[in-house]
């Protein structure tokens, strides 16, 4: 629109002839008509353009409205999420509180059960050792021996039961520390060779030279597993040998306990890991025990992120193999309960 339109006043001179004037006027009219058409066109163009702008505006307004809606929705979802988070946090606090109470209950129970048992065991052992100048006849000695043996059994049962409740309630708090698997195995050896000697069974410790010098783990929990397996191996073996082998499996390390004992028949190889289960009734009569040892082995191993397998042949012997992840730094193992 930079071009100026026809200047009517300047184009029509008073001195010109009528024809001239008419021509001029016609020309002017033509020019005007032309301009008008042009204007018309421009107006139409502008109108279209405006329409487009308006359309665009309306479109983007819709867009904006949609955005606003989206934002509203987003805020609503966020509020909902915050509410859910609060609810979950409350539930978590409750669960933590419950688990704390459970753990407190367990530790109180444990203390209350053990205290009188410790006294019974302590005093009967003193009597049997004739300490403090006690005197009694043979019959009394026999009875006190029974009390002493039974108090040991009950204490063992209480300990097993509490070990098991701790792992079942998820309260087995693993204390991860660096330790030497070789040193640990030697400590088990000291404890177990006393039992082996008593039964005239050989005890052998086999150490893989490629064992890591240190691994991270809970020595006490691992010991619980190993001592239970070693105790069983001695208990269910009348002659021959019990061997403890530690080996390195790359990502894992393994504790294998092999005996030359009575073995476990195929049908029993799964259920012996359940609580209070033994191969059969004769086992209880002959060997005593309550059937909690292997349940402890199984649950503690699983809590440490490991596995336990059993190979056995009746009257030939059994091998229990515990595989534990090698951890070289402190990392928590997710409990696979």
Partner 1 sequence: MTRINIPADLLSNWDIVVVDDEPDSLEVAEIILDAYGANVHTGTNGAEGLEQVRKIQPRFIISDISMPVMDGWGLIHELKNDRSLMDIPAIALTAHAMVGDRERAITAGFHNYLTKPLTAETFIYDLLKLLMDIPELAEHLNI
Ligand X SMILES: Nc1ncnc2c1ncn2[C@@H]1O[C@H](COP(=O)(O)OP(=O)(O)O)[C@@H](O)[C@H]1O
Catalog residues that contact partner 1 under the rule CB under 8 A.
Answer: 107, 110-111, 114-115, 117-119, 121-123, 125-126, 128-129, 131-132, 155, 159, 162-163, 166, 172-173, 175, 177, 194, 198, 218, 220-221
| Binding of Mg ion by 278 (CB under 5 A) | no
We find the least distance from the C-beta atom of residue 250 to ligand X, in angstroms, to be: 27
First-to-last CA distance in the chain? 83
- Is the distance from CB of 263 to CB of 312 less than 8 angstroms? yes
Contacts 24+ apart (CB under 8 A), 56-65: none
Closest CA to 165 of 214, 256, 99: 99
CA-to-CA distance for 179 and 151, rounded, in angstroms? Answer: 34
Picked from Mg ion, partner 1, ligand X, none, the partner binding residue 283 (CB below 5 to 8 A depending on kind) is: ligand X
We find the least distance from the C-beta atom of residue 137 to Mg ion, in angstroms, to be: 35
We find the least distance from the C-beta atom of residue 121 to Mg ion, in angstroms, to be: 20
Q: Report the residue number, 163 or 259, with the smaller CB distance to ligand X.
A: 259
| # of chain residues touching Mg ion (CB under 5 A) | 2
Torsion-angle region of 319 (φ positive above 0: left; ψ -120 to 50: alpha; else: beta): beta
3-state SS class at 114: helix
112's enclosing H/E stretch is: helix 18-128
List interacting residues with ligand X (CB under 6 A). 232-233, 236, 259, 261-264, 272, 278-279, 283, 289-295, 318
- Is the distance from CB of 258 to CB of 319 less than 8 angstroms? yes
Picked from ligand X, Mg ion, partner 1, none, the partner binding residue 159 (CB below 5 to 8 A depending on kind) is: partner 1
We find the least distance from the C-beta atom of residue 291 to ligand X, in angstroms, to be: 4
Starting at the edge strand found earlier in the chain, the sheet holding 252-259 runs: 202-207, 241-248, 252-259, 317-325, 307-313
Task: Please report how the helices 181-198 and 219-235 are oriented relative to each other, as an axis angle in degrees rounded to 10.
Answer: 30
Task: Find the binder of Mg ion among 124, 151, 193, 232 (CB under 5 A).
Answer: 232
Picked from Mg ion, ligand X, partner 1, none, the partner binding residue 126 (CB below 5 to 8 A depending on kind) is: partner 1
CA-to-CA distance for 302 and 106, rounded, in angstroms? Answer: 21
CA-to-CA distance for 149 and 324, rounded, in angstroms? Answer: 35
Q: Report the residue number, 129 or 282, with the smaller CB distance to ligand X.
A: 282
We find the least distance from the C-beta atom of residue 255 to Mg ion, in angstroms, to be: 16
CA-to-CA distance for 199 and 100, rounded, in angstroms? Answer: 43
Q: Report the residue number, 148 or 232, with the smaller CB distance to ligand X.
A: 232
Picked from partner 1, Mg ion, ligand X, none, the partner binding residue 245 (CB below 5 to 8 A depending on kind) is: none
Q: Report the residue number, 102 or 269, with the smaller CB distance to ligand X.
A: 269
Picked from ligand X, Mg ion, partner 1, none, the partner binding residue 201 (CB below 5 to 8 A depending on kind) is: none
We find the least distance from the C-beta atom of residue 272 to ligand X, in angstroms, to be: 4
We find the least distance from the C-beta atom of residue 268 to ligand X, in angstroms, to be: 7
- The first and second tokens of residue 45, run together, are 């163009």
Point out which residues bind Mg ion (CB under 5 A): 232, 293
């Amino acid at each position: 629109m930079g071009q100026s339109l026809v200047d009517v006043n300047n184009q029509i001179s008073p001195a010109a002839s009528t024809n001239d004037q008419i021509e001029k006027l016609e020309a002017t009219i033509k020019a005007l008509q032309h301009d008008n058409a042009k204007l018309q066109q421009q107006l139409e163009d502008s109108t279209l353009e405006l329409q487009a702008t308006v359309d665009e505006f309306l479109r983007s307004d819709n867009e904006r409205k949609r955005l606003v809606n989206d934002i509203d929705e987003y805020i609503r979802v966020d509020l909902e999420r915050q509410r859910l988070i609060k609810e979950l946090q409350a539930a978590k606090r409750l669960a933590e509180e419950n688990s704390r109470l459970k753990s407190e209950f367990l530790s109180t129970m444990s203390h209350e059960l053990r205290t009188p048992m410790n006294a019974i065991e302590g005093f009967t052992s003193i009597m049997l050792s004739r300490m403090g100048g006690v005197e009694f006849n043979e019959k009394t000695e026999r009875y006190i021996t029974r009390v002493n043996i039974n108090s040991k059994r009950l204490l063992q049962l209480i300990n097993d039961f509490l070990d098991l409740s701790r792992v079942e309630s998820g309260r087995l708090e693993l204390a991860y520390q660096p330790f030497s698997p070789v040193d640990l195995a030697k400590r088990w050896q000291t404890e177990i060779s006393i039992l082996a000697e008593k039964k005239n069974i050989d005890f052998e410790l086999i150490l893989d030279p490629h064992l890591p010098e240190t691994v991270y783990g809970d020595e006490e929990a691992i010991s619980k597993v190993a001592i239970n397996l070693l105790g069983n191996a001695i208990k269910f073996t009348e002659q021959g040998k019990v061997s403890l082998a530690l080996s390195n499996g790359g990502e894992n390390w393994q504790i294998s306990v092999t005996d030359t004992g009575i073995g476990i028949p195929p049908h029993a190889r799964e259920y012996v890991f359940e609580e209070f289960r033994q191969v059969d009734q004769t086992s209880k009569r002959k060997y005593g025990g309550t059937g909690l040892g292997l349940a402890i082995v199984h649950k503690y191993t699983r809590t440490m992120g490991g596995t336990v397998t059993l190979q056995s042949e009746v009257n030939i012997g059994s091998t229990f193999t515990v595989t534990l992840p090698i951890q070289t730094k402190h990392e928590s193992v997710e409990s696979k309960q």
